[in-house]
Amino acid sequence: MSPDAKAYKTITAEEPQRILLQNGHERFNPNLLTGSLQLKAHLCQPVHVGSGLLEPPIMRDLQSDILLVRTLFRVGDKVCIPGTSLKGAFRSLIEMFTNSCAPGDDSDEFRGCKPGEADSTELCPACRLFGAFGFLGNVRFEDVVLPTKIRRSIFMLPPQYNSGKGRQHGERRYYPHDLVDEREGNWPFEVLDPGQSFEIKVSFKNISSEDLGLLLIGLGQGEWQICPKLGGGKSAGLGSVRITDLRGQLLDIHASYASFESQYLPFVPEDHIKEAQDFLEVDVLEELAENLGWELLREQCDEK
Ligand SMILES: [Zn+2]
């Protein structure tokens, strides 16, 4: 890669496809879906979800002559991946392959959704799932607290550019697994070593079958097998994660009210993915499958 080549690709969004919100948060709607998902995330590249702090490596049991390193986010002594970081990574993926708004975009066309009164709120797919200004989302990612024995090291990142600079209206950027900024690194980052894995827990309430399908595709399910990029340094070969081992539970709202224990409905992910077809930008999804899919990542990943 030449020094001025870009390690990202762009997709131009279509106008947001907003529909009326069917339910607020005040009650469970038996015609919508409420439940949880559990998945396994395999680190195929080093991952840095940072605290923003610069610390001496010795403080974090890292052997190095470097004076200060940008460390991983922690809760107490344990490395943690905040649910909000996971949510952000999956939201930006889902924004790309659906016709969703772009919350950071100030143009009339792509400006973030604005919820109004309860019965007149129209939201795009990403805002229905993940929330908008004034509307709490219907999907929640739990924080992941990693075990103390998780393997870490120091990765030298090349100088970073402002990732939003020069962005056109409706333009979205993503970082293909095989496009790597190969300039020499001079920024020391603490990273999680590849070849390890952790559990992701997601809960959702009052979402339609179509929206659950979109969430599942974003979580790497379906024929596209998209592997998201998580955390910082995406242009420098960091962040690629493969999601596998999906397990899900759908609450049977009616039966649960009449019982002392929670009752569940059958969970068939393929059915929801099929339902999501009307909200998919198929060309974009195919492009993402090519550049962010498991096929491309397979050779780099320890998990085969
Ligand atoms: Zn929106």
- Give distance in angstroms: CA of 113 to centre of ligand 1: 4
Average pLDDT of every residue of the chain:
90
Q: Work out the average pLDDT over 151-155.
A: 97
Residue 11 lies inside a defined structural domain of this protein: no
Paired with 155 in beta bridges are 189
**What is the distance in A from the centroid of ligand 1 to the CA of 100?**
5
Question: What whole-number distance in Å separates Cα of residue 208 and Cα of residue 271?
Answer: 12
In a domain, 172, yes or no: yes
How many whole angstroms separate alpha carbon 90 and alpha carbon 241?
11
Kindly provide the residue ranges of all beta strands, DSSP E only, lying in 95-229, ordered along the sequence: 122-123, 131-132, 135-136, 139-141, 144-145, 152-157, 171-174, 187-192, 197-207
Which one, of 130, 18, 96, lies nearest residue 287 by Cα?
96
pTM given for the model: 0.93
pLDDT (average), residues 96-105: 86
- Provide the 8-state DSSP code for 235: G
Residue 206 Cα to ligand 1 midpoint, Å, equals: 17
The Cα 244–Cα 198 span in angstroms is: 11
Q: What is the CA radius of gyration of the chain?
A: 20
Confidence of residue 5 (pLDDT cuts 50, 70, 90): low
**Dihedral through CA 10, CA 16, CA 17, CA 22, nearest 10?**
120
Q: From the CA of 101, how far away is ligand 1's center (Å)?
A: 4
Both tokens of residue 116? Answer: 């109004």
Q: Tell me how far the alpha carbon of residue 135 lies from the centroid of ligand 1, in angstroms.
A: 10
What are 198-221's pLDDT values in tens digits?
999 999 999 999 999 999 999 999
> 53-95 pLDDT, tens per residue?
999 999 999 999 999 999 999 999 999 999 999 999 999 999 9
Residues contacting 1, CB < 8 A, separation 6+: 7, 179, 180, 181, 182
Residues 118, 287: Cα–Cα separation, whole Å: 36
* Per-residue model confidence (pLDDT) at position 182: 85
- Ligand 1 centroid, distance to 189 Cα (angstroms): 33
205 Cα: distance to centroid of ligand 1 (angstroms) = 18
pLDDT tens-digit series, residues 257-278 = 888 888 999 999 999 999 999 9
pLDDT band at 34 (very low <50, low <70, confident <90, very high): very high
Residue at 140 is within a domain: yes
Amino acid making up residue 82: P
130 alpha carbon – ligand 1 mean position (Å): 9
Centre of ligand 1 from the C-alpha of residue 129, in Å? 9
Q: Looking at residue 164, what is its pLDDT?
A: 65
Burial string for 30-61 (b: 16+ CB within 10 Å, else e) reads eebbbbbbebebbbbbbbbbbeeeeeebeebe
CA 125 to ligand 1 center in whole angstroms: 7
In a domain, 4, yes or no: no
How many independent structural domains does the chain possess?
A: 1
Burial of 147 (0-12, 13-18, 19+ CB in 10 A): exposed
Whether residue 37 is contained in a domain is answered as: yes
111 Cα: distance to centroid of ligand 1 (angstroms): 8
Centre of ligand 1 from the C-alpha of residue 76, in Å: 35
Q: Quick one: average pLDDT of 121-139? A: 91
Q: Is position 81 within any domain?
A: yes
State the distance from the centre of ligand 1 to the C-alpha of 107, rounded, in angstroms.
13
- List the helix and strand counts (H, then E) for the chain: 7, 18
Cα 228 to chain centroid distance, Å, stands at: 6
Structural domain including 55 reads: 17-300
pLDDT exceeds 90 at position 1: no
Question: How far, in Å, from the CA of 284 to the mean position of ligand 1?
Answer: 18
pLDDT over 90 percentage in the chain:
68
Distance 60 CA to ligand 1 centre (A): 40
How far is the centre of ligand 1, averaged over its atoms, from the C-alpha of 10 (Å)? 19
The answer to whether residue 218 is domain-embedded is: yes
